[in-house]
Structure 1
Amino acid sequence: MRVLVVEDEERLARTIQRGLELEGFVVQLAHTGTDGLWAATEDSFDVIVLDIMLPGLSGYEVLRRLRARDVTTPVLMLTAKDGDYEQADALDLGADDYLTKPFSFVVLIARLRALLRRRVPQQPSVLSAGDLVLDPARRTVRRGDTDLTLTPREFGLLEFLLRHKGLALTKIEILRNVWDAHYDGPENVVEVYIGYLRKKIDAPFGSASIETLRGVGYRMVDPDRAGDGQVDDESRTAPR
Protein backbone atom coordinates (compact mmCIF):
# COMPACT_ATOMS: atom_id res chain seq x y z
CA MET A 1 0.00 0.00 0.00
CA ARG A 2 1.43 3.34 -1.08
CA VAL A 3 1.34 6.37 1.21
CA LEU A 4 2.29 9.97 0.45
CA VAL A 5 3.42 11.90 3.54
CA VAL A 6 3.48 15.69 3.09
CA GLU A 7 5.27 17.08 6.15
CA ASP A 8 7.76 19.96 6.31
CA GLU A 9 9.41 18.84 9.57
CA GLU A 10 11.91 16.50 7.95
CA ARG A 11 12.85 14.67 11.14
CA LEU A 12 9.21 13.91 11.88
CA ALA A 13 8.61 12.94 8.26
CA ARG A 14 11.48 10.43 8.37
CA THR A 15 10.19 9.02 11.65
CA ILE A 16 6.74 8.53 10.15
CA GLN A 17 8.29 6.98 7.06
CA ARG A 18 10.33 4.45 9.05
CA GLY A 19 7.35 3.51 11.19
CA LEU A 20 5.03 3.05 8.22
CA GLU A 21 7.59 1.01 6.32
CA LEU A 22 7.89 -1.36 9.29
CA GLU A 23 4.13 -1.85 8.97
CA GLY A 24 4.49 -2.79 5.30
CA PHE A 25 3.61 0.53 3.67
CA VAL A 26 5.56 2.01 0.76
CA VAL A 27 6.15 5.66 1.63
CA GLN A 28 6.97 8.71 -0.47
CA LEU A 29 7.82 12.02 1.22
CA ALA A 30 7.20 15.62 0.20
CA HIS A 31 8.28 18.58 2.33
CA THR A 32 6.36 21.46 0.73
CA GLY A 33 2.76 21.94 -0.27
CA THR A 34 3.81 22.47 -3.88
CA ASP A 35 5.76 19.22 -4.03
CA GLY A 36 2.96 17.38 -2.26
CA LEU A 37 0.36 18.60 -4.73
CA TRP A 38 2.55 17.62 -7.67
CA ALA A 39 3.20 14.12 -6.27
CA ALA A 40 -0.46 13.53 -5.44
CA THR A 41 -1.63 14.50 -8.92
CA GLU A 42 1.18 12.89 -10.93
CA ASP A 43 1.27 9.55 -9.11
CA SER A 44 -1.21 7.21 -7.46
CA PHE A 45 -1.40 6.53 -3.73
CA ASP A 46 -3.71 4.57 -1.47
CA VAL A 47 -3.76 7.30 1.19
CA ILE A 48 -2.21 10.74 1.84
CA VAL A 49 -1.00 12.10 5.18
CA LEU A 50 -1.07 15.90 4.86
CA ASP A 51 0.20 18.56 7.26
CA ILE A 52 -1.61 21.91 7.32
CA MET A 53 1.24 24.35 7.94
CA LEU A 54 3.43 23.85 4.87
CA PRO A 55 5.75 26.11 2.85
CA GLY A 56 4.59 26.93 -0.66
CA LEU A 57 0.95 25.92 -0.35
CA SER A 58 -0.89 25.22 2.88
CA GLY A 59 -2.37 21.79 3.46
CA TYR A 60 -5.82 23.36 3.11
CA GLU A 61 -4.93 24.66 -0.35
CA VAL A 62 -3.35 21.38 -1.40
CA LEU A 63 -6.50 19.55 -0.32
CA ARG A 64 -8.78 22.05 -2.07
CA ARG A 65 -6.88 21.70 -5.34
CA LEU A 66 -6.78 17.90 -5.11
CA ARG A 67 -10.54 17.67 -4.71
CA ALA A 68 -11.06 20.27 -7.47
CA ARG A 69 -9.07 17.97 -9.78
CA ASP A 70 -11.21 14.99 -8.75
CA VAL A 71 -8.38 13.27 -6.89
CA THR A 72 -10.35 11.04 -4.50
CA THR A 73 -7.42 9.55 -2.58
CA PRO A 74 -8.26 9.45 1.17
CA VAL A 75 -6.52 12.27 3.06
CA LEU A 76 -5.62 12.30 6.74
CA MET A 77 -4.72 15.76 8.00
CA LEU A 78 -1.85 15.63 10.50
CA THR A 79 -1.30 18.93 12.30
CA ALA A 80 -0.62 20.81 15.52
CA LYS A 81 -3.83 22.78 14.97
CA ASP A 82 -6.44 21.22 17.25
CA GLY A 83 -9.25 23.77 17.20
CA ASP A 84 -12.78 22.82 16.24
CA TYR A 85 -12.86 25.31 13.37
CA GLU A 86 -9.60 24.00 11.89
CA GLN A 87 -10.95 20.46 11.93
CA ALA A 88 -14.26 21.58 10.45
CA ASP A 89 -12.47 23.48 7.67
CA ALA A 90 -10.37 20.45 6.79
CA LEU A 91 -13.36 18.12 6.72
CA ASP A 92 -15.43 20.59 4.69
CA LEU A 93 -12.62 20.81 2.11
CA GLY A 94 -12.68 17.03 1.67
CA ALA A 95 -10.39 15.55 4.32
CA ASP A 96 -11.32 12.05 5.43
CA ASP A 97 -9.76 12.20 8.90
CA TYR A 98 -7.87 14.55 11.21
CA LEU A 99 -5.12 13.75 13.73
CA THR A 100 -3.39 16.30 15.94
CA LYS A 101 0.24 16.44 17.07
CA PRO A 102 1.61 15.01 19.25
CA PHE A 103 -0.01 11.76 18.21
CA SER A 104 0.19 8.06 18.96
CA PHE A 105 1.78 6.12 16.13
CA VAL A 106 -0.51 3.19 16.95
CA VAL A 107 -3.51 5.46 16.39
CA LEU A 108 -2.04 6.80 13.14
CA ILE A 109 -1.63 3.26 11.77
CA ALA A 110 -5.14 2.29 12.87
CA ARG A 111 -6.66 5.35 11.22
CA LEU A 112 -4.77 4.79 7.97
CA ARG A 113 -5.96 1.18 7.83
CA ALA A 114 -9.51 2.35 8.54
CA LEU A 115 -9.32 4.81 5.62
CA LEU A 116 -8.07 2.02 3.36
CA ARG A 117 -10.94 -0.23 4.40
CA ARG A 118 -13.47 2.49 3.66
CA ARG A 119 -12.01 3.09 0.21
CA VAL A 120 -11.97 -0.60 -0.72
CA PRO A 121 -14.72 -2.11 1.45
CA GLN A 122 -14.78 -5.32 -0.58
CA GLN A 123 -11.24 -6.20 0.51
CA PRO A 124 -11.33 -8.89 3.21
CA SER A 125 -9.74 -8.04 6.54
CA VAL A 126 -7.89 -11.36 6.40
CA LEU A 127 -6.23 -12.48 3.15
CA SER A 128 -5.86 -16.12 2.20
CA ALA A 129 -4.93 -18.64 -0.47
CA GLY A 130 -5.86 -22.15 0.58
CA ASP A 131 -4.60 -22.65 4.12
CA LEU A 132 -2.16 -19.73 3.81
CA VAL A 133 -3.64 -16.88 5.88
CA LEU A 134 -2.31 -13.34 6.36
CA ASP A 135 -3.85 -10.89 8.82
CA PRO A 136 -2.72 -7.33 7.93
CA ALA A 137 -4.03 -5.79 11.15
CA ARG A 138 -2.32 -8.26 13.47
CA ARG A 139 0.72 -8.63 11.20
CA THR A 140 0.52 -12.41 11.35
CA VAL A 141 0.91 -15.18 8.78
CA ARG A 142 0.13 -18.85 9.20
CA ARG A 143 0.00 -21.96 7.05
CA GLY A 144 -2.63 -24.25 8.46
CA ASP A 145 -1.84 -24.46 12.17
CA THR A 146 1.76 -23.28 11.73
CA ASP A 147 2.68 -19.67 12.48
CA LEU A 148 5.23 -18.23 10.04
CA THR A 149 7.80 -15.50 10.68
CA LEU A 150 8.42 -13.06 7.82
CA THR A 151 10.57 -9.97 7.54
CA PRO A 152 8.71 -6.67 6.91
CA ARG A 153 9.65 -6.82 3.21
CA GLU A 154 8.54 -10.43 2.87
CA PHE A 155 5.28 -9.59 4.64
CA GLY A 156 4.62 -6.63 2.34
CA LEU A 157 5.35 -8.73 -0.74
CA LEU A 158 3.06 -11.54 0.38
CA GLU A 159 0.30 -9.08 1.26
CA PHE A 160 0.52 -7.46 -2.18
CA LEU A 161 0.40 -10.85 -3.92
CA LEU A 162 -2.58 -11.97 -1.85
CA ARG A 163 -4.48 -8.73 -2.44
CA HIS A 164 -4.10 -9.39 -6.17
CA LYS A 165 -4.57 -13.15 -6.05
CA GLY A 166 -5.05 -14.65 -9.50
CA LEU A 167 -3.67 -11.60 -11.33
CA ALA A 168 -0.39 -11.49 -13.25
CA LEU A 169 1.94 -8.96 -11.61
CA THR A 170 5.08 -7.64 -13.27
CA LYS A 171 8.31 -7.01 -11.38
CA ILE A 172 7.86 -3.28 -12.00
CA GLU A 173 4.39 -3.35 -10.40
CA ILE A 174 5.73 -5.26 -7.42
CA LEU A 175 8.67 -2.89 -6.96
CA ARG A 176 6.40 0.11 -7.20
CA ASN A 177 4.03 -1.14 -4.53
CA VAL A 178 6.30 -3.05 -2.14
CA TRP A 179 9.72 -1.38 -2.35
CA ASP A 180 10.67 2.22 -1.63
CA ALA A 181 9.16 4.72 -4.04
CA HIS A 182 12.65 5.83 -5.11
CA TYR A 183 14.18 2.38 -5.46
CA ASP A 184 16.40 2.30 -8.54
CA GLY A 185 18.25 -0.97 -8.07
CA PRO A 186 17.99 -4.14 -10.15
CA GLU A 187 14.59 -5.69 -10.77
CA ASN A 188 15.86 -9.15 -9.85
CA VAL A 189 15.57 -8.22 -6.17
CA VAL A 190 11.92 -9.24 -6.64
CA GLU A 191 13.05 -12.67 -7.81
CA VAL A 192 15.27 -12.99 -4.75
CA TYR A 193 12.45 -12.17 -2.34
CA ILE A 194 10.03 -14.44 -4.15
CA GLY A 195 12.59 -17.14 -3.43
CA TYR A 196 12.72 -16.20 0.25
CA LEU A 197 8.93 -16.38 0.46
CA ARG A 198 8.74 -19.76 -1.23
CA LYS A 199 11.22 -21.19 1.25
CA LYS A 200 8.96 -20.11 4.12
CA ILE A 201 5.40 -20.46 2.85
CA ASP A 202 5.70 -23.35 0.38
CA ALA A 203 8.82 -25.52 0.70
CA PRO A 204 8.09 -26.86 4.22
CA PHE A 205 4.55 -27.75 3.19
CA GLY A 206 5.24 -29.32 -0.21
CA SER A 207 3.04 -26.97 -2.19
CA ALA A 208 3.29 -23.99 -4.56
CA SER A 209 1.45 -20.71 -3.97
CA ILE A 210 3.40 -18.33 -6.20
CA GLU A 211 3.39 -19.05 -9.91
CA THR A 212 6.16 -17.76 -12.18
CA LEU A 213 4.90 -16.41 -15.50
CA ARG A 214 7.89 -16.43 -17.82
CA GLY A 215 8.45 -13.06 -19.45
CA VAL A 216 5.68 -11.49 -17.35
CA GLY A 217 6.15 -11.80 -13.60
CA TYR A 218 4.35 -13.66 -10.84
CA ARG A 219 0.88 -14.66 -9.74
CA MET A 220 -0.49 -15.84 -6.40
CA VAL A 221 -2.58 -18.97 -6.86
CA ASP A 222 -4.74 -20.98 -4.50
CA PRO A 223 -2.79 -24.16 -3.62
CA ASP A 224 -6.07 -26.08 -3.55
CA ARG A 225 -6.49 -25.24 -7.25
CA ALA A 226 -2.87 -25.60 -8.36
CA GLY A 227 -3.86 -28.28 -10.81
CA ASP A 228 -5.88 -25.74 -12.80
CA GLY A 229 -2.71 -24.15 -14.21
CA GLN A 230 0.87 -24.98 -15.10
CA VAL A 231 3.52 -23.97 -12.57
CA ASP A 232 6.87 -24.07 -14.32
CA ASP A 233 10.11 -25.43 -12.91
CA GLU A 234 11.46 -21.97 -12.03
CA SER A 235 8.55 -21.38 -9.68
CA ARG A 236 9.44 -24.50 -7.72
CA THR A 237 13.01 -23.47 -7.03
CA ALA A 238 14.16 -20.50 -5.00
CA PRO A 239 16.29 -18.09 -7.07
CA ARG A 240 19.98 -18.15 -6.30
Structure 2
Amino acid sequence: MHILIIEDEEQLCRSMAEGLRMDGYETDTCFDGEEGLELCMTENYDLILLDLNLPGIDGLEILRQFRTFNTNTPVLILSARVQIQDKVEGLDLGANDYLTKPFHFEELEARIRSLTRRKFIQEDVCLRCSRITFDTRTREASVDGTPLALTRKESALLEYFLLHRNRIISPEEMIEHLWDGSVNSFSNSIRVHISSLRKKLRTALGYDPIQNKIGQGYILEE
Protein backbone atom coordinates (compact mmCIF):
# COMPACT_ATOMS: atom_id res chain seq x y z
CA MET A 1 0.00 0.00 0.00
CA HIS A 2 1.22 3.47 -0.89
CA ILE A 3 0.34 6.17 1.67
CA LEU A 4 0.75 9.96 1.53
CA ILE A 5 1.20 11.79 4.84
CA ILE A 6 0.50 15.55 4.78
CA GLU A 7 1.57 16.84 8.20
CA ASP A 8 3.45 20.05 9.11
CA GLU A 9 4.85 18.69 12.40
CA GLU A 10 7.96 17.25 10.80
CA GLN A 11 8.99 15.03 13.70
CA LEU A 12 5.51 13.50 13.94
CA CYS A 13 5.34 13.11 10.18
CA ARG A 14 8.69 11.30 9.97
CA SER A 15 7.84 9.16 12.98
CA MET A 16 4.55 8.01 11.41
CA ALA A 17 6.26 7.37 8.09
CA GLU A 18 8.97 5.24 9.67
CA GLY A 19 6.45 3.25 11.71
CA LEU A 20 4.28 2.61 8.66
CA ARG A 21 7.29 1.56 6.60
CA MET A 22 8.10 -1.00 9.27
CA ASP A 23 4.50 -2.23 8.89
CA GLY A 24 5.14 -2.80 5.18
CA TYR A 25 3.61 0.37 3.72
CA GLU A 26 5.41 2.68 1.31
CA THR A 27 5.04 6.30 2.41
CA ASP A 28 5.54 9.74 0.91
CA THR A 29 5.63 12.79 3.19
CA CYS A 30 5.17 16.52 2.85
CA PHE A 31 4.95 19.35 5.36
CA ASP A 32 2.84 22.04 3.69
CA GLY A 33 -0.53 22.33 2.02
CA GLU A 34 0.56 23.43 -1.44
CA GLU A 35 2.90 20.48 -1.97
CA GLY A 36 0.31 18.17 -0.42
CA LEU A 37 -2.40 19.27 -2.84
CA GLU A 38 -0.05 18.86 -5.80
CA LEU A 39 0.87 15.31 -4.73
CA CYS A 40 -2.78 14.42 -4.23
CA MET A 41 -3.61 15.58 -7.73
CA THR A 42 -0.65 14.06 -9.57
CA GLU A 43 0.12 10.75 -7.80
CA ASN A 44 -1.96 7.64 -7.19
CA TYR A 45 -2.16 6.71 -3.49
CA ASP A 46 -4.05 4.00 -1.64
CA LEU A 47 -4.63 6.24 1.39
CA ILE A 48 -3.99 9.86 2.41
CA LEU A 49 -3.33 10.97 6.01
CA LEU A 50 -4.24 14.64 6.17
CA ASP A 51 -3.56 17.23 8.87
CA LEU A 52 -5.87 20.25 8.93
CA ASN A 53 -3.63 23.06 10.23
CA LEU A 54 -1.17 23.36 7.35
CA PRO A 55 0.89 26.25 6.00
CA GLY A 56 -0.05 27.41 2.53
CA ILE A 57 -3.38 25.64 2.06
CA ASP A 58 -5.62 24.44 4.88
CA GLY A 59 -6.31 20.72 5.08
CA LEU A 60 -10.05 21.15 4.59
CA GLU A 61 -9.43 23.11 1.39
CA ILE A 62 -7.11 20.33 0.16
CA LEU A 63 -9.87 17.82 0.88
CA ARG A 64 -12.48 19.97 -0.87
CA GLN A 65 -10.40 20.29 -4.03
CA PHE A 66 -9.23 16.67 -3.97
CA ARG A 67 -12.77 15.30 -3.76
CA THR A 68 -13.77 17.17 -6.93
CA PHE A 69 -11.00 15.23 -8.65
CA ASN A 70 -10.97 11.89 -6.79
CA THR A 71 -13.88 10.42 -4.83
CA ASN A 72 -12.43 6.95 -4.23
CA THR A 73 -9.10 7.26 -2.40
CA PRO A 74 -9.65 7.02 1.39
CA VAL A 75 -8.68 10.11 3.41
CA LEU A 76 -7.99 9.92 7.15
CA ILE A 77 -7.89 13.32 8.87
CA LEU A 78 -5.35 13.72 11.68
CA SER A 79 -6.03 16.88 13.66
CA ALA A 80 -5.72 18.55 17.03
CA ARG A 81 -9.07 20.23 16.39
CA VAL A 82 -11.48 18.58 18.82
CA GLN A 83 -14.65 20.58 18.11
CA ILE A 84 -17.47 18.43 16.79
CA GLN A 85 -18.10 20.98 14.01
CA ASP A 86 -14.59 20.42 12.63
CA LYS A 87 -15.18 16.67 12.53
CA VAL A 88 -18.59 17.10 10.90
CA GLU A 89 -17.18 19.47 8.27
CA GLY A 90 -14.30 17.15 7.46
CA LEU A 91 -16.57 14.12 7.09
CA ASP A 92 -19.09 16.10 5.05
CA LEU A 93 -16.32 17.17 2.68
CA GLY A 94 -15.50 13.52 2.01
CA ALA A 95 -13.07 12.33 4.68
CA ASN A 96 -13.48 8.64 5.51
CA ASP A 97 -12.33 8.89 9.11
CA TYR A 98 -11.16 11.45 11.68
CA LEU A 99 -8.47 10.80 14.32
CA THR A 100 -7.87 13.41 17.01
CA LYS A 101 -4.34 14.23 18.18
CA PRO A 102 -2.64 13.07 20.28
CA PHE A 103 -3.23 9.45 19.36
CA HIS A 104 -1.52 6.11 19.93
CA PHE A 105 0.25 4.71 16.89
CA GLU A 106 -1.56 1.40 17.41
CA GLU A 107 -4.89 3.17 16.88
CA LEU A 108 -3.59 4.79 13.69
CA GLU A 109 -2.53 1.34 12.44
CA ALA A 110 -5.99 -0.05 13.19
CA ARG A 111 -7.75 2.83 11.40
CA ILE A 112 -5.51 2.32 8.35
CA ARG A 113 -6.21 -1.42 8.28
CA SER A 114 -9.94 -0.72 8.47
CA LEU A 115 -9.86 1.81 5.62
CA THR A 116 -7.70 -0.31 3.31
CA ARG A 117 -9.82 -3.43 3.96
CA ARG A 118 -12.92 -1.38 3.17
CA LYS A 119 -11.39 -0.22 -0.10
CA PHE A 120 -10.76 -3.79 -1.22
CA ILE A 121 -14.03 -5.12 0.28
CA GLN A 122 -12.06 -7.25 2.71
CA GLU A 123 -13.73 -7.64 6.11
CA ASP A 124 -11.32 -10.09 7.75
CA VAL A 125 -7.88 -9.00 8.92
CA CYS A 126 -6.55 -12.23 7.37
CA LEU A 127 -6.20 -12.57 3.61
CA ARG A 128 -6.41 -16.10 2.23
CA CYS A 129 -5.81 -17.86 -1.05
CA SER A 130 -5.87 -21.63 -1.12
CA ARG A 131 -3.31 -22.72 1.51
CA ILE A 132 -1.74 -19.25 1.92
CA THR A 133 -2.76 -16.96 4.79
CA PHE A 134 -1.56 -13.41 5.48
CA ASP A 135 -2.47 -11.57 8.70
CA THR A 136 -2.63 -7.85 7.90
CA ARG A 137 -2.41 -6.97 11.59
CA THR A 138 0.73 -8.92 12.52
CA ARG A 139 2.16 -8.87 8.95
CA GLU A 140 2.78 -12.63 9.22
CA ALA A 141 2.32 -15.08 6.36
CA SER A 142 1.86 -18.82 6.58
CA VAL A 143 1.18 -21.88 4.45
CA ASP A 144 -0.98 -24.58 6.04
CA GLY A 145 -0.38 -22.85 9.38
CA THR A 146 3.42 -22.96 9.06
CA PRO A 147 4.98 -19.46 9.19
CA LEU A 148 6.80 -18.11 6.14
CA ALA A 149 9.94 -16.05 6.74
CA LEU A 150 9.39 -13.08 4.43
CA THR A 151 11.17 -9.75 4.16
CA ARG A 152 9.19 -6.53 4.51
CA LYS A 153 9.03 -6.08 0.74
CA GLU A 154 8.08 -9.70 0.13
CA SER A 155 5.26 -9.34 2.68
CA ALA A 156 3.99 -6.21 0.93
CA LEU A 157 4.08 -8.00 -2.43
CA LEU A 158 2.22 -11.04 -1.09
CA GLU A 159 -0.43 -8.82 0.51
CA TYR A 160 -0.97 -6.98 -2.79
CA PHE A 161 -1.19 -10.23 -4.76
CA LEU A 162 -3.75 -11.59 -2.27
CA LEU A 163 -5.85 -8.44 -2.49
CA HIS A 164 -5.80 -8.68 -6.30
CA ARG A 165 -5.75 -12.45 -6.80
CA ASN A 166 -6.80 -13.78 -10.19
CA ARG A 167 -5.87 -10.46 -11.83
CA ILE A 168 -2.71 -9.64 -13.80
CA ILE A 169 -0.67 -6.93 -12.05
CA SER A 170 1.76 -4.97 -14.19
CA PRO A 171 5.24 -3.91 -12.99
CA GLU A 172 4.11 -0.29 -13.34
CA GLU A 173 1.22 -0.89 -10.94
CA MET A 174 3.55 -2.53 -8.43
CA ILE A 175 5.91 0.44 -8.56
CA GLU A 176 2.99 2.83 -8.04
CA HIS A 177 1.66 1.04 -4.96
CA LEU A 178 4.60 -0.81 -3.40
CA TRP A 179 7.76 1.20 -4.08
CA ASP A 180 8.80 4.77 -3.40
CA GLY A 181 9.93 7.27 -6.01
CA SER A 182 13.49 5.91 -6.15
CA VAL A 183 12.43 2.91 -8.28
CA ASN A 184 11.44 3.05 -11.94
CA SER A 185 10.02 0.53 -14.39
CA PHE A 186 13.49 -0.35 -15.64
CA SER A 187 14.71 -1.34 -12.18
CA ASN A 188 15.65 -4.95 -11.47
CA SER A 189 14.36 -4.57 -7.90
CA ILE A 190 10.87 -5.81 -8.73
CA ARG A 191 12.06 -8.99 -10.43
CA VAL A 192 14.50 -9.76 -7.61
CA HIS A 193 11.86 -9.46 -4.87
CA ILE A 194 9.18 -11.34 -6.81
CA SER A 195 11.64 -14.11 -7.64
CA SER A 196 12.54 -14.47 -3.97
CA LEU A 197 8.87 -14.52 -2.91
CA ARG A 198 8.01 -17.13 -5.55
CA LYS A 199 10.90 -19.34 -4.45
CA LYS A 200 9.70 -19.30 -0.83
CA LEU A 201 6.10 -20.02 -1.82
CA ARG A 202 7.18 -22.81 -4.16
CA THR A 203 9.22 -24.43 -1.38
CA ALA A 204 6.29 -24.27 1.05
CA LEU A 205 3.51 -25.24 -1.38
CA GLY A 206 5.29 -27.58 -3.74
CA TYR A 207 4.28 -25.42 -6.69
CA ASP A 208 4.48 -21.78 -7.78
CA PRO A 209 1.15 -19.94 -7.34
CA ILE A 210 2.44 -16.75 -9.03
CA GLN A 211 2.68 -16.85 -12.80
CA ASN A 212 4.55 -14.49 -15.10
CA LYS A 213 2.47 -13.34 -18.06
CA ILE A 214 5.06 -12.23 -20.61
CA GLY A 215 4.67 -8.57 -21.53
CA GLN A 216 1.81 -8.08 -19.06
CA GLY A 217 2.88 -8.75 -15.47
CA TYR A 218 2.23 -11.30 -12.72
CA ILE A 219 -0.86 -13.07 -11.41
CA LEU A 220 -1.66 -15.04 -8.26
CA GLU A 221 -4.24 -17.64 -9.22
CA GLU A 222 -6.46 -19.56 -6.82
TM-score (norm 2): 0.90
| Offset of residue 157 of structure 1 | 0.7
Q: Partners in 2 of 1:165 and 1:185 — Cα distance? A: 22
- 2:52 matched residue in structure 1: 52
Structure 1 unaligned blocks of 5 or more: 223-240
> How many pairs were matched up?
222
- Change in Cα spacing, 1:122 to 1:142, as seen in structure 2 (3 Å) is closer
Q: Partners in 2 of 1:75 and 1:30 — Cα distance? A: 15
| Offset of residue 172 of structure 1 | 2.1
- 1:73 matched residue in structure 2: 73
| Offset of residue 44 of structure 1 | 2.0
Q: Partners in 2 of 1:97 and 1:123 — Cα distance? A: 17
Identity of matched residues, %: 36
- 1:108 matched residue in structure 2: 108
Q: Partners in 2 of 1:121 and 1:198 — Cα distance? A: 26
- 1:157 matched residue in structure 2: 157
Pair 1:172 & 2:194 matched: no
- Change in Cα spacing, 1:122 to 1:205, as seen in structure 2 (3 Å) is closer
Q: Partners in 1 of 2:203 and 2:141 — Cα distance? A: 15
- 1:126 matched residue in structure 2: 126
User: Do 2:175 and 2:185's aligned partners in 1 also have CA atoms closer than 8 Å?
Assistant: no
Pair 1:22 & 2:36 matched: no
Q: More deviation in 92-101 or 51-60? A: 92-101
Structure 2 unaligned blocks of 5 or more: none
- 1:206 matched residue in structure 2: 206
Amino acid in the other structure paired with 1:55: P
User: Do 1:142 and 1:148's aligned partners in 2 also have CA atoms closer than 8 Å?
Assistant: yes
Give the alignment of 1:94-105 within 5 angstroms.
Answer: 94-105=94-105
Q: Partners in 2 of 1:118 and 1:164 — Cα distance? A: 14
| Offset of residue 16 of structure 1 | 1.1
User: Do 1:26 and 1:181's aligned partners in 2 also have CA atoms closer than 8 Å?
Assistant: no
Partner deviation per Cα, 1:95-120 (whole Å, 9 max, x = no partner): 22111222111100111121223333
Q: Partners in 2 of 1:134 and 1:36 — Cα distance? A: 32
Q: Partners in 1 of 2:120 and 2:197 — Cα distance? A: 26
Amino acid in the other structure paired with 2:98: Y
- Change in Cα spacing, 1:205 to 1:120, as seen in structure 2 (3 Å) is closer
Q: Partners in 1 of 2:82 and 2:17 — Cα distance? A: 23
Amino acid in the other structure paired with 1:140: E
Q: Is the partner of 2:82 in helix, strand or coil?
A: coil
Amino acid in the other structure paired with 1:137: R
| Offset of residue 68 of structure 1 | 3.2
User: Do 1:5 and 1:49's aligned partners in 2 also have CA atoms closer than 8 Å?
Assistant: yes
User: Do 2:113 and 2:136's aligned partners in 1 also have CA atoms closer than 8 Å?
Assistant: no
Q: More deviation in 105-114 or 128-137? A: 128-137
Q: Partners in 1 of 2:88 and 2:171 — Cα distance? A: 42
| Offset of residue 72 of structure 1 | 3.4
Q: Partners in 2 of 1:131 and 1:5 — Cα distance? A: 35
